[in-house]
Structure 1
Amino acid sequence: MSLLRALGLILAAGGGVFLPLGLKASEAPVEQLSEALTGRYADHTLWYIAGGLGAMIAGVCLALSPKQ
């Protein structure tokens, strides 16, 4: 297994941990109230969701890239 493929799998796994954490945090009652009043989620929730999704996409791209 190449180093890029291993790094891609690690990134995808890390994103797979943070994305559900962010989605679960967005369903919390305080977060729902904050979103209803301000129209957006708290910064940490957005970072979990965006970071998890970005890490998953980058990890899959690295893992599936052709060998170098």
Structure 2
Amino acid sequence: MTKAISLALIVGGVVLLYFGGEAYHSLSSDVSRVFTGSPSNKAIYLIAGGVVATLAGLIGMATSSGKR
């Protein structure tokens, strides 16, 4: 069961990273970078969430593989 959850976290994290990259290169993020010097909050949140979910999934896969 934990392998399924870990795999779902990895897949979800990769999807979030994809959408975060799309948001990072969007027009609204470009406008935000012109005025503030940083990308939009949406892009940052999607990328950070993707990294956290992917790492949690990878850690879950690494720890659950040695139990059985």
Instruction: Give the TM bin, normalised by the shorter chain.
Output: 0.7 to 0.9
Alignment counterpart, residue 23 of structure 2, candidates 19, 22, 25:
25
Distance (Å, rounded) in 2 between the aligned partners of 1:29 and 1:12:
28
The answer to whether the 8 Å contact 1:16/1:52 transfers is yes
Instruction: Note the residue ranges of structure 1 that are not aligned, 5 or more in a row.
Output: none
The amino acid of 1:10's aligned partner reads A
Q: TM-score, normalised by structure 1?
A: 0.84
1:33 deviates by: 2.1
Instruction: Give the share of equivalent positions with the same residue, in percent.
Output: 30
Q: TM-score, normalised by structure 2?
A: 0.84
Misfit runs of 4+, over 6 Å:
none
- Which residue of the partner structure matches residue 47 of structure 2? 49
Aligned-residue CA RMSD (Å):
1.4
* Matched residue count: 66
The answer to whether the 8 Å contact 1:5/1:64 transfers is no
Structural mapping, 1:1-68, within 5 Å:
3-65=1-63, 66-67=66-67
